[in-house]
Structure 1
């Protein structure tokens, strides 16, 4: 048997890490011997650097383990260097890793979007904050443009936005102006109208930004959580009939798009109060097709689409334990 290992690099360099930020790098322990090697499982703090993990902690013969090293961050103009010696626990073979870091000045900040709760059909306000500002006063930047993405089946912007686009996957993108606050950290307040959608919460994230000069911008995404979706029991989207065949709840609209006479085919698997609403993109219930107790079975619900304004709608089926939705459009 032989005990031999090597490192994928013996000189790990963290180059131009943004001032005040931490950074991670990885390397490999390569076992070229015939005996499995074991490594300490505890975190090793070297001061400016940390050996965070060795995974797996046992490197099989001919195998590899991944080492994660973290630089804690520092200041421009300071030299950071250290070393760590990996020693196997069997024959005390060792390999030394040299670690160094340089720090670069940068201009930037973090966009933090709050998480709020709201009821369906209400207007919610979501603060957008500019935090962790670094050297921003040197830039002369007073505002940035940001493209945001939300779940468009749940949220419709009512505040000042531009280039609002509803995408095929149900998401909505739009552009907002984010002023750099001179006091406090709130840049702007986003306002949305909530509606029934395909989930119980909507993400709000930054996809891209534009500014008058290069900035380092990080983000902390937010959410709008629909708080009035209390349900009795768990979802019952499927039931098993006497023949042990699983049948699922479903809803289908024909024709698509809707023009005049339209049929909603509804398959119900639960006995109890059931409501079927047609909801427009503002979250307003445009038409209620059913609001009564239904027993399991298949139902055909006709309605005249010509009584609705043209545009996109969502049909929402609500019972005590589940909610389903499907999108359709009305044209002339």
Structure 2
């Protein structure tokens, strides 16, 4: 399996220490407060709840969606729904896309994010994260729709991973998921800070969603996950307050990094910068029990998320001061 953030046990085993600050995932560090569950939540088979789908459609502005066990489930299943095809995946990007499209007989190549448009003409499927993970780059919705139409005209797909899209709603194309060839993935784990639920949504034409549901099988999303997500997706006051807090904290992190000579791109949830020797910064922070995300391959660099508490901000700032001093 590929390496991902959130592997804090590995960090503790390698570097030791207590009171780790995990900034490796880009998740909202102050997640939605899960409500108490009904007594039978753990006994009943998790039949699909139409109320959850409606709440998700209302929140994401999409006409129809399929709940999935995290966007990872859809990422792994989608390559199985096509005959061998020519696949272009944005790079750097979320590595699971290229990993799974490289299987099942497909011809997969990675394309620099800035030149994605040039890949439309000789691809059957184009995969783009919007905002991109890890760089935070975005493609305008009008451009995405134009690419989608060009691909769909010859039976192709545009897969848009909007897992980090909650803080950039103007960039979303979820409202267009009835359009031929368009597939949009959304995550409850990032903005809501509920990665442990393993819940996301896939949007596409109804017949494609039906095929995806058949591949995934029954009971893919647990009953407790559905109940917690239903509350989170309906809670507009919490969502609005969280948008404001993340925007504020994201600006604070960007300013803190810039004050120490690091000019990063990203989103309110995470920041990223390229580095010739990212391993050195990664180890420097780990020696201080701060776990950031190291990218060793395409797009070598560092991604850093947000802390939750004042004492964590203070430790991060001290670690950056130490870095300045060499």
Do these two structures clear the TM 0.5 threshold for a shared fold by scoring above it? no
Which one has the bigger strand percentage? 1
The TM-score, its normalising length taken from structure 2, stands at 0.20
The TM-score, its normalising length taken from structure 1, stands at 0.20
Q: Give 1 or 2 for the bigger CA radius of gyration.
A: 1
Which structure would you say has the larger RCO, counting Cα contacts within 8 Å and 6 or more residues apart?
A: 2
